[in-house]
Amino acid sequence: MKKIKMLAVAPYEGMAEAIATIAKERNDIDLTVQTGDLSTGKNIAIELSHNNYDVIISRGGTAELIRSAVEIPVVEISISVYDVLRAIKLAENYSGKFVIAGFSGITHYARQLCDLLQYDIDIITFTSEEDALPALREAKKHGVRVLSIVNVVGSSIARESDDVIYTWAGPEIAVATTKGYSTQLSVMYLLALYFGEARKTITEQEMIDYIQKLKKVPDDVQKLLKFEERIKILAKQYAHSKDVFVIGRGIDYAAALEGSLKLKEISYIHSEAYAAGELKHGTISLIEDGTLVIAIATQQTLFEKLISNIKEVKARGAKVVAIATEGSTSIEKVADEVFYIPKTSEMFTASATVVPMQLLSYYIAVERGCDVDKPRNLAKSVTVE
């Protein structure tokens, strides 16, 4: 198999280390990682272009600068739908595949992405039809087989895809999706597991064990509804917050993105999700006395680091609501309020951690007198690019 000679230009050391860690798990990528930003990206590309890289990956403006400097496919990495972000991590961990994702709007214009398809990189897309269809059609022009995950039978995406998995979530009246998120995530869990079994990165027995745990997720979600009264009280307390920040590490960060999105969608409070390890790169300057910070801490290998992040924001006056796994009671020493999710495989925690955040978003919106089903400025489907 031909190795992909890839250069990754990361804006800081932490991202460089993360890219290198993922690449180590593959034997078909010859990776060089350089740290660079807008000021150094072009110089790095020019300096290293003689090494004949097959592809360069980078972010945003840095990717644009590099693209203008070299005749090499340059892929701009962005953040896709938030449950996809978690699914990417799962797909990498359990199927052994290296997955690149971006907003479909970016994918539509980044033709360079198609240059990568000869290297067996798969595109799995699910989002609003109008912005996803151009990306889907562009991929098919280049001979890509497209698998789509959709809810509506007979939709345009379903008709134009080679393969379709229906989520059967049923009609969702509210603009801010909840069951659509949960069903898509469940499908991605299953895909990651089946890919893993097919590629022999997990055993058949491991897959059976995971599926049995996945079947228990609805019961776990039901248990979380007992927090409703506590969450109503919290909603009254924080309904008039100016800013709310949601932090997490690893796959908890993906859940944080979804929770933050729900809050700003339906309550109109300014909310942002941040990778907790990046707080010191400027974000922590936004924390002031009384700021609400929601901290997600379900990944045991990263638990102590998340505790340290909570201490940092608390020292600057933040009020912290934590979501952790049952048994992780040490978090009570640093958080003002803790919600515990039932113990399960860390692979499935996002299905549970999102529930307290959805409930909090809902009751804050109600407390503020917002129309939860029809938030302002939002539509059920995207009709313009």
In this prediction, residue 56 carries a pLDDT of 59
- Amino acid letter, 377: N
Kindly tell me if the per-residue pLDDT of 205 is higher than 80: yes
Q: Is 281 contained in some domain?
A: yes
Kindly tell me if the per-residue pLDDT of 82 is higher than 50: no
Distance between CA atoms of 77 and 61, rounded to whole angstroms? 11
Q: Provide the number of structural domains found in the chain.
A: 3
- Residue 177 and residue 183 in contact, taking contact as beta carbons nearer than 8 Å: no
Mean pLDDT of 278-291: 86
Kindly tell me if the per-residue pLDDT of 272 is higher than 90: yes
Same domain, yes or no: 97 and 197:
yes
Q: Which long-range contacts (CB under 8 A, 24 or more apart) does 70-76 make?
A: 70/45, 70/46, 72/45, 73/112, 73/115, 73/116, 74/112, 75/100, 75/102, 75/110, 75/112, 75/113, 75/116, 76/102, 76/106, 76/110
- Residue 249 and residue 276 in contact, taking contact as beta carbons nearer than 8 Å: yes
In this prediction, residue 92 carries a pLDDT of 44
Last residue of a domain, one of 215, 244, 267: 215
Same domain, yes or no: 31 and 160:
no
Mean pLDDT of 145-172: 83
Kindly tell me if the per-residue pLDDT of 191 is higher than 80: yes
What range defines the domain where residue 159 resides? 79-215
In this prediction, residue 280 carries a pLDDT of 79
Pick 57 or 176 by higher pLDDT: 176
Kindly tell me if the per-residue pLDDT of 290 is higher than 90: yes
Kindly tell me if the per-residue pLDDT of 10 is higher than 90: no
The model's pLDDT over 36-46, given as tens digits with 9 standing for 90+, comes to 554 554 555 55
Percent of the chain with pLDDT over 70: 64
Kindly tell me if the per-residue pLDDT of 366 is higher than 80: yes
Distance between CA atoms of 240 and 37, rounded to whole angstroms? 37
Mean pLDDT of 249-254: 87
Q: What CATH number should be reported for the domain holding residue 25? A: 3.40.50.2300
The model's pLDDT over 94-150, given as tens digits with 9 standing for 90+, comes to 444 444 444 344 343 333 434 443 334 444 444 555 667 777 787 787 777 788 888
Q: Is 384 contained in some domain?
A: no
* Contacts of residue 273, Cβ cutoff 8 Å, sequence gap at least 6: 245, 246, 247, 248, 253, 256, 257, 259, 260, 261
Q: What CATH number should be reported for the domain holding residue 141? A: 3.40.50.10490
Same domain, yes or no: 260 and 316:
yes
Give pTM, 2 decimals.
0.69
Q: What is the mean pLDDT of the chain?
A: 75
